[in-house]
């Protein structure tokens, strides 16, 4: 059994907090706000909401099909980091394009329902191996930590669509989750939230 260094309940709380923040932020959106640009891939806020929905659905897929999911097959080839990022970006774009037409609130509602259901599954499957990359196993717990990072990063993106800012309550835990869930992706030191933003390629003033 592969074990994650992440504390189960703290990580799940971080995961759920990210969902709650996204729901709160998007509850402030007017209809036109969904067309506002974000710092993520040049996407509009509507695209970010759809991407979140895709990510949450992927979580269930990767756990259901572990350790032979499409993600596991990709990671088992040990591609260089640049190639891996390109492959994942292509998958993200394809998944977003394949989504049914929906409004921003509809995407967020579907995301929240799916992500909360996955949080409940995490407690039972915390140590389930999802994939191995360059000899390092990634458990459902590790991946859950990585997804918590995604939720808070995209909360920051969505806040910027409102011309606002966002900082998580436990940025130190997000750094730990990054290192456990994405050990191949470098992250610097210093201010923990700034380190996460910089590691994720967000423009930091």
The domain that holds 186 is classified in CATH as: 1.20.120.450
pLDDT attached to residue 5: 73
**In contact, 99 and 53? CB cutoff 8 Å:** yes
In a domain, 21, yes or no: yes
In a domain, 42, yes or no: yes
pLDDT attached to residue 2: 59
In a domain, 103, yes or no: yes
Average of pLDDT values for 3-26? 94
pLDDT tens profile 35-84 = 999 999 989 999 999 999 999 999 999 999 999 999 999 999 999 999 99
In a domain, 2, yes or no: no
The answer to whether residue 142 scores a pLDDT higher than 60 is yes
Confidence (pTM): 0.96
In a domain, 51, yes or no: yes
Cβ atoms within 10 A of the Cβ of 1, count?
A: 7
Domain count for the chain:
1
Residue 170: exposed, middle, or buried by beta-carbon count in 10 A (0-12, 13-18, 19+)? middle
Residue 203: pLDDT band (50, 70, 90) is: confident
In a domain, 204, yes or no: no
pLDDT tens profile 155-198 = 999 999 999 999 999 999 999 999 999 999 999 999 999 999 99
The answer to whether residue 1 scores a pLDDT higher than 60 is no
**In contact, 158 and 45? CB cutoff 8 Å:** yes
How confident is the prediction for the chain on average, in pLDDT? 96
**In contact, 147 and 130? CB cutoff 8 Å:** no
pLDDT attached to residue 134: 95
First to last CA, the chain: 42
Parent domain of 43: 8-199
């Amino acid at each position: 059994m592969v074990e994650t260094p992440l504390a189960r309940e703290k990580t799940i709380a971080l995961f759920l907090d990210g969902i709650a923040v996204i729901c709160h932020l998007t509850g402030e959106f007017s209809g036109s706000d969904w067309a506002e640009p974000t710092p993520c891939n040049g996407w509009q806020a509507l695209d970010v909401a759809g991407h979140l929905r895709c990510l949450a659905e992927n979580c269930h897929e990767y756990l259901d099909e572990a350790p032979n999911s499409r993600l596991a097959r990709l990671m088992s080839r040990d591609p260089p980091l640049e190639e891996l990022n390109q492959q994942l970006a292509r998958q993200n774009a394809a998944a977003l394009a394949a989504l049914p037409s929906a409004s921003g609130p509809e995407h967020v509602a579907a995301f929240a329902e799916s992500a909360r259901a996955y949080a409940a599954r995490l407690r039972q499957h915390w140590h389930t191996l999802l994939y191995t990359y360059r000899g390092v196993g990634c458990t459902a717990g590790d991946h859950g930590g990585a997804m918590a990072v995604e939720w808070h990063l995209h909360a920051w993106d969505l806040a910027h669509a409102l011309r606002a800012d966002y900082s998580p309550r436990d940025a130190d835990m997000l750094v730990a989750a990054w290192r456990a869930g994405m050990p191949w992706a470098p992250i610097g030191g210093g201010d923990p939230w700034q380190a996460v933003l910089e590691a994720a390629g967000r423009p930091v003033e």
